[in-house]
Amino acid sequence: NAGVTQTPKFQVLKTGQSMTLQCAQDMNHEYMSWYRQDPGMGLRLIHYSVGAGITDQGEVPNGYNVSRSTTEDFPLRLLSAAPSQTSVYFCASSYSVGAFGGEQYFGPGTRLTVT
Amino acid sequence: GNSVTQMEGPVTLSEEAFLTINCTYTATGYPSLFWYVQYPGEGLQLLLKATKADDKGSNKGFEATYRKETTSFHLEKGSVQVSDSAVYFCALLNFGNEKLTFGTGTRLTIIP
């Protein structure tokens, strides 16, 4: 099992550019989520999905879109990048919402810089 | 709403020292509590968890006890090693909400 994989590892964008951060898991997990990690703020939930075709907003969804067409993939789209979106982005998955006491498996992260 | 408060870092200790990282929480109902660890350049990994009051989670020499009366879940280790250098996150999951709420993280550095 590869677990949770994310690409790219690093990305630099100019303000106004768009891009998609990729996330895939091979554990047949229903629940997937995206977090951003900023210094002094811990991890904040951007969007999450409880299954294919179902997504919902987290704590900081503005400027981001998601879709979940398959169980395995959960891409995060930045529509028009802004410097405030400079962050480290983590994708996570778990078997189901609330199952196993909420143990989530995290990808290695994507470090995004917007200039 | 839910919130988690961790002690401010960074924390620097000598090898074999005793470690405590404080964590308190605010939540309705009976949340599950977690400690996650992030080693340099990696994603988060679950370190330990407790799902009800008075439960003790333990792993790799780390322990934390779910104290409902003080709404706390402090992380402890009796003798730290250089390899324990990482960022530690306290988190809670409140069933019905189903979203992990994280603290801000505590950076721990162990010097030989």
Confidence band for B1, pLDDT divided at 50, 70 and 90: confident
* Subunit contact A108:B32, Cβ cutoff 8 A: no
Mutate to test the interface with B, among A88, A104, A111 (most CBs of B within 10 A): A104
Name the DSSP letter for residue A9: S
* Subunit contact B89:A43, Cβ cutoff 8 A: yes
Query: Could you identify the residue written with the tokens 């839910």?
Result: B2
Task: Choose the weakest-confidence range: A102-106, B3-7, B59-63.
Answer: A102-106
As a whole number of angstroms, the distance between CA B73 and CA B32 comes to: 10
Q: Is A103 an interface residue toward B (CB < 8 Å)?
A: yes
Q: SS3 for A46?
A: strand
By DSSP bridging, strand B75-77 and strand B19-21 are: antiparallel
Share of residues in chain B with pLDDT > 90 (%): 76
As a whole number of angstroms, the distance between CA A73 and CA A43 comes to: 21
Q: Which tokens sit at B60?
A: 């790799």
As a whole number of angstroms, the distance between CA B100 and CA B1 comes to: 12
Tally of residues, chain A: 115
As a whole number of angstroms, the distance between CA B21 and CA B8 comes to: 9
